[in-house]
Amino acid sequence: MNAADFLDVVNATLRLSTPLILAALAGLYSERSGIVDIGLEGKMLAAAFSAAVIAALTGSAWLGLLGGIAASLVMAMIHGYASISLRGNQVVSGVAINFVASGLTAFFGQAWFGEGGRTPQLPMTARFGEIDFPGAQAVADVPVLGLVYSHFISGHNLLVYFAFLAVPATWWVVQRTRFGLRLRAVGENPAAVDTAGISVAWMRYRALMLTGLLCGVAGTYLSIAQSAAFTRDMTAGQGYIALAALIFAKWKPWPVLWTCLLFGFLDALSIRLQGVVVPGIGAVPVQAIQALPYILTMILLAGFIGKAIPPRAGGMPYVKER
């Protein structure tokens, strides 16, 4: 691989890890508050569909984003109502969200547009396009710094920047604010929070709203920034990968960033390595290359992360003692 290939892989890594980062951070808020969220996938899918439909109808990417967030929030609130207010099983509710999203998006897509669940292709104006930072072209020839500025920092779409800024923001919210302290407490020991006179249910609902918001942005990214239309089941398991990344990262914001970048990098590498002739072996078969991210994930999971301890109250509905 030469320098140009390297740049290519780095840029692909940033593009591919963006939805994972957003979804994993979404899961972080929910799980840190004690609500297990299997439904990241479904929320992303609903958001992707809603964003694509609204962007197609209005021609505005921003309205699409709002629509995506709204759809994801509705899903998050259904999950919240089932698991907080009704004290239902959180895993069952999350799985239900995934099925509902997968079925409803395909159904409405077919009913409204008649293209097998696909939405119309969006023009560039109805999408989040790539932003070139001022002076990016001018400094492109400056060694190292200019290269980094013009190739990595400039030239992505808005939602990519949002995802990378969401990491420090999440760290600050979770570790440095009163809300974050209570969020962590409610996931570890809700009874103590309750004793302090803070509503456990309201805390958890607020956490789920943040989950809905971030999943909404992740889904919107998939359908109107990374591509130009919604397709049936377009999340393709990314919600689950994000969940794995979250466990990998032991429910902490910065490690979430690194693990998502790692997953994105492996994916980008598998795309780039296809058909490349390895000296002494010859062209590596497509199958082997595509299995690479999963094999490495297994190795890392088995050997390197150590013990991942989830928030102690995770998965348990809170019942006040009487």
Partner 1 sequence: MRVKWLAAAAAVLFAGNAYAAEVSPAVIYDIGGKHDKSFNESAFAGEEQFKKDTGIGYHEFEIQNPSQYDQALRNFARRGYQPIIAIGFSQAQALEKVSKEFPKIQFGIVDATVDAPNVRSLVFREEEGSYLVGMLAALKSETGKIGFVGGMDIPLIRKFACGYVQGAKAVNPKIEIFQNMVGTTGDAWNDPVKGGELAKSQLSRGADVIYTAAGASGLGAMQAAADAKKYSIGVDSNQDDLHPGSVLTSMVKHVDTAIYSANMDMKDGKWTGGAKVLGLKENGVGYTSDQYNKDVLTADMKSKADEAKAKIISGEIKVHDYTADNSCPM
Q: For residue 228, state whether it binds partner 1 (rule: CB under 8 A).
A: yes
Which pair of tokens denotes residue 183? 């969020």
Nearest CA among 56, 45, 76, 60 for reference residue 209: 76
**Contact yes or no for 101/43 (Cβ under 8 A):** yes
Among 66, 91, 118, 191, binds partner 1 (CB under 8 A): 118
Strands (E), 235-285: 277-278, 282-283
Q: How far is the CB of 136 from partner 1 (least distance, A)?
A: 16
Q: Tell me whether residue 195 or residue 287 sits nearer to partner 1 (CB atom).
A: 287
Q: What is the smallest separation between the CB atom of 58 and partner 1, expressed in angstroms? A: 20
Give yes or no for residue 319 binding partner 1 (CB under 8 A).
Answer: no
Long-range contacts (CB closer than 8 Å, 24 or more residues apart) made by 260-263: 260/17, 260/20, 260/21, 260/24, 261/13, 261/17, 261/21, 262/300, 263/16, 263/17, 263/20, 263/293, 263/297
Among 92, 142, 236, 298, binds partner 1 (CB under 8 A): 236
Rounded to 10 deg, the angle between the 286-303 and 238-248 helix axes is 30
Rounded Cα distance between 305 and 322, Å, is 41
Q: Alpha helices, DSSP H only, in 33-137?
A: 40-58, 61-80, 90-113
For residue 125, state whether it binds partner 1 (rule: CB under 8 A): no
Please tell me whether residue 112 binds partner 1 under the rule CB under 8 A: no
Of 171-200, binders to partner 1 (CB under 8 A) are none
Among 57, 58, 108, 115, binds partner 1 (CB under 8 A): 115
Instruction: Show the binding pattern over residues 257-276: x = contacts partner 1 (CB under 8 A), - = does not.
Output: -----------x--xx-xx-
Which of 132/319 has CB closer to partner 1?
A: 132
Cα separation, 198 vs 297, whole angstroms: 40
| Cβ neighbours for 73, distance < 8 A, ≥ 6 positions apart | 209, 212, 213, 216
Position among 90, 231, 259, 297 found at the interface with partner 1 (CB under 8 A)? 231
The answer to whether the beta carbons of residues 238 and 66 sit under 8 Å apart is no
Judged by CB under 8 A, the number of residues near partner 1 is: 33
- Say what angle helices 61-80 and 40-58 make with each other, to 10 degrees: 150
Each residue 276-305 as x (binds partner 1 by CB under 8 A) or -, in order, gives ----------xx--x---------------
How many residues are there in the chain? 322
Pick one of 58, 232, 300, 305: the residue that binds partner 1 (CB under 8 A).
232
DSSP 8-state class, residue 125: G
103 binds partner 1 (CB under 8 A): no
147 makes contact with partner 1 (CB under 8 A)? no
Q: Decide if residue 11 touches partner 1 (CB under 8 A).
A: yes
Q: Tell me which of 59, 103, 116, 168 binds partner 1, using CB under 8 A.
A: 116
When asked if residue 212 is in the footprint of partner 1 (CB under 8 A), the reply is: no
Number of CB atoms found within 10 A of residue 106's CB: 19
Quick check: 42 and 196 in contact, CB under 8 A? no
Strand partners, 131: 156
Q: How far apart are CA 4 and CA 133, in angstroms?
A: 20
Query: Should residue 165 be labelled a site residue for partner 1 when binding is judged by CB under 8 A?
Result: no
Least separation in angstroms between residue 236's CB and partner 1 is 6
Residue 305: CB minimum distance to partner 1, A: 27
Of 31-70, binders to partner 1 (CB under 8 A) are none
Residues near partner 1 (CB under 8 A): 4-5, 7-8, 11-12, 15-16, 114-118, 121, 124, 222, 226-229, 231-234, 236, 268, 271-272, 274-275, 286-287, 290
